[in-house]
A and B are shown apart, each in its own frame.
Chain A
Amino acid sequence: MSVFEGFKFRKVSSAVHRLDPRIKFFYVIILFVMAILFTKLLALIVLFFIPLPFVFIARVNRQWLRSLRGAVFFAIIIFATNFIFGYFYPSSYTEITGAVDSLGEYLVLLERASAMTLRFVVLIASFSVFFLTTSPDHLGLALQQSHIPYEFCFAFTTAVRFVPVLADEAQTIMDAQKARGLELERGNFLKRVRNYIPILIPLIISAIRRSLELAEAMESRAWGASEKRTNLYVLKLKRTDYLLVLVSVLMLIIAVYVWLYVSIPSLTTLLSL
């Protein structure tokens, strides 16, 4: 079940992993805002490099690249729609007069479509750094300390806790049904989807039974005993966290300044100089 691999919690530690998840999230949001602010390819290329140091410090390059590869499909769709849309409705581009008919105008179109695609890639890249370097435990804690109801945080961490368990179970059920003669890879698309029913039903039933047992165990350990629970762990801001806040705010100020006062040249004009 390779689908679940990405959810599996790996215990690694680095300066980036140890950052407060709330601050890391703030940083990602700033990147997000900057990516929305700019439409020029040159600006977005710069933005793409900003989360890179994090990736290397946290040593998650392999997983990070894998998540980017996962985004290729959507990136292609975004590129194609932008390009085709621009071709048929060139009036939305100030640089293009009339229909798209010269090499220069094609280049403008190409650059704009690339920029939109890169914007998407920047978003994916920065969010995946966040999720790759934040343990679910930390994330649950951050949710809790952000005044999100405890029931919700608990549901979140418990879900993460049971992903590998359910994945194992799905595998066991699959093996058992195959041993009884179920053929998963047979028939046309619809038939194949139907083939999975004998796997889903036992999986769902066992998940329900499991959740009842969990509820029983929670009750037995005094769930709901007091209005305000305490927590074994607590997130405290450290010096590096404040540093990251500072860096993020500075980045935002610079970005807003550039957006207001600097006209960013397009790559085509820059190269043709």
Chain B
Amino acid sequence: MAIIETRDLTYTYPGATNPAITEVSVTIEKGDFVILTGPSGCGKTTLCRCFNGLIPHFYNGNLEGEIVVAGLKVNDHKIHQIARHVGLVFQNPENQLFALSVEKDVAFGLENFAMVRDEMRKRVDWALQMAGISELSERPPHELSGGQQQRVAIASVLAMQPEIMILDEPTSFLDPVGAQKIFEVISELNKKLGITIILVEHRLDLASMYANRVIVMDEGKIVLNGEPRKIFNSEKARLIGVGIPKVTQLYQHLKIHGINLKRVPVTPQETANILREVLKHD
């Protein structure tokens, strides 16, 4: 079942001459874990803003084409109505937390929904636990590390129990350990709760093992869309400059030298297994 569907979506920011995205037609299925990648400035953030209604409602500008998210026509619904279904986590962890304590921040969306206090308390505690930051609940956000702040941002979106969670380069301010932790948290949300994940990411080495789909954009258009292995192994991905995982590159190099592995690997673990098989046979 499609949870996001766009047809010929074209958007131009107010005052801009060229559209930031052109004729984007994409379908995302319920329960998918999608990685959205591509060179910077190619329109990934713009597309994310369309998914939760910031475009056109917050940015105005000119939006053409059709977009339906979680059964709602984005054009006809307010951002706060869409927010019940779609959560958006931004790149800079610092600028999306505004309260003086972590739990207050996590409660922000629920307060906006006018949820009764007892239920809100339960939801907040649940979201903190899912994000693995229960022990931080009373700390002021500005005293936390970037990775912790980003997990607070995830918890604050999660508390609203959206069906879709979009994360726009959530790890670009973080170190590899912090990034890994974020990927683990969102993968849990995807597997356990069935939340559809759209992750905008450059660090494909770490992230691709969790995804079942990769979408590559270039110059405002979707140029590749499919199974991670297929995409990473394609010539086009290499030409655009997608950060193809190292182990997939290894596969390609081996192939050039006449060594054909049975499958295209995306994780080191997988590669190790495939190589072990090959070496045993020799």
> Does A161 contact B141, Cβ atoms closer than 8 Å?
yes
Query: For B147, what are the chain A residues with a Cβ–Cβ distance below 8 Å?
Result: none
Tell me if A232 and B117 are in contact (CB < 8 A): yes
Is B114 touching A226 in the complex (CB atoms < 8 A)?
A: yes
Chain A nearest CB from B106 CB (Å) reads 9
- CB within 8 Å for A137 and B104 given contacts A214-B98, A222-B83: yes
B156 pairs with A221, CB closer than 8 A: yes
Asked if A219 is at the interface of the complex by the 8 Å CB criterion, the answer is yes
Interface residues of B in 93-111 (CB under 8 A from A): 94-101, 103-104, 107-111
Is the pair B58, A216 in contact by a Cβ cutoff of 8 Å?
yes
Q: How far is the CA of A233 from the CA of B106 in the complex (A)?
A: 13
Specify which chain A residues have a CB less than 8 angstroms from the CB of B142 in the assembled complex: 161, 164-165
B252 to chain A, nearest CB (A): 39
Q: What is the size category of the interface that chain A forms with chain B?
A: 35 or more
Q: Is the CB–CB distance between B112 and A225 below 8 Å?
A: yes
Q: Determine which residue in B87, B110, B138 has the highest number of CB atoms from chain A within 10 A of its CB, and name it.
A: B110
Q: Does A224 contact B (CB under 8 A)?
A: yes
Is the pair B112, A220 in contact by a Cβ cutoff of 8 Å?
no
Q: Check if A222 sits within 8 Å of B121, measured CB to CB.
A: no
Classify chain B's interface size.
35 or more
Beta-carbon contact of A214 and B96 below 8 Å: yes
- B130-160: CB near A (< 8 Å → 1, else 0) gives 0000000010111000000000000011001
Inter-chain contact B80/A222, CB cutoff 8 Å: yes
A149 CB → nearest B CB, Å? 15
> B116 within 8 Å of A by Cβ?
yes
Whether the Cβ atoms of A232 and B103 lie closer than 8 Å is yes
Residue pairs across A and B with CB atoms within 8 Å: the count is 113
Contact with B along A215-259 (1 / 0, CB 8 A): 111111111111111111110000000000000000000000000
Q: Is A136 positioned at the interface, with any CB of B under 8 Å from its CB?
A: yes
Whether B120 pairs with A226 at a CB distance below 8 angstroms is no
In the docked arrangement, what's the CA distance between A137 and B182, Å?
Answer: 28
Is the C-beta of A210 less than 8 angstroms from some C-beta in chain B?
A: yes
**Contact at B92–A220, with CB atoms within 8 Å?**
no
- A158 contacts which chain B residues (CB < 8 A)? 98
- Which residues on B sit within 8 Å (CB–CB) of A61? none
Establish whether residues A137 and B83, one from each chain, have CB atoms under 8 Å apart when the complex forms: no
The answer on a CB contact under 8 Å between A229 and B111 is: yes
Q: Is A177 an interface residue (CB 8 A)?
A: no
B172 CB → nearest A CB, Å: 14
Contact yes or no, A221 B141, CB < 8 A = no
A220-B87, A225-B80 known; A157 vs B117 contact (CB < 8 Å): no
Q: How far is the CB of B118 from chain A (nearest CB, A)?
A: 11
Query: Are A222 and B112 in contact, with the CB atoms below 8 A?
Result: yes
Bound CA–CA A154/B100 (angstroms): 11
Q: Does any Cβ of A come within 8 Å of B115's Cβ?
A: yes
Q: Are B98 and A218 in contact (CB under 8 A)?
A: yes
Contact between A221 and B117 (Cβ–Cβ < 8 Å)? no
A234 to B81, CA, bound (A): 26
The answer to whether A161 and B99 touch across the interface, beta carbons within 8 angstroms, is: yes
For the complex, what is the distance from the CA of A65 to the CA of B141, rounded to whole Å? 29
List of A residues within 8 angstroms of B121 by Cβ: 232
Q: Residue of A at shortest CB range from B90?
A: A217
Please state if B95 and A232 are interface contacts (CB–CB under 8 Å): no
> In the assembled complex, how far is the CB of residue A18 from the closest CB belonging to chain B, in whole angstroms?
14
Instruction: Please name all residues of chain A whose beta carbon is closer than 8 Å to the beta carbon of B124 when the two chains form the complex.
Output: 232
Q: Jot down 29 A-B pairs with beta carbons below 8 A, ordered by A.
A: A9-B100, A11-B140, A137-B101, A160-B100, A161-B98, A161-B140, A161-B142, A165-B142, A210-B95, A216-B54, A216-B58, A217-B95, A219-B54, A219-B57, A219-B58, A219-B80, A219-B83, A221-B156, A222-B109, A224-B112, A225-B83, A225-B114, A226-B114, A229-B111, A230-B116, A231-B111, A232-B110, A232-B117, A234-B117
Known: A158-B98, A232-B103, A232-B124. 18 other contacts (CB 8 A): A9-B100, A9-B140, A11-B138, A137-B101, A161-B97, A214-B98, A216-B54, A217-B90, A217-B98, A220-B157, A221-B87, A221-B108, A221-B157, A225-B83, A230-B114, A230-B115, A230-B116, A233-B104
The interface of chain B, by Cβ under 8 A from chain A, is: 52, 54, 57-58, 79-81, 83-84, 87-88, 90, 92, 94-101, 103-104, 107-117, 120-121, 124, 138, 140-142, 156-157, 160
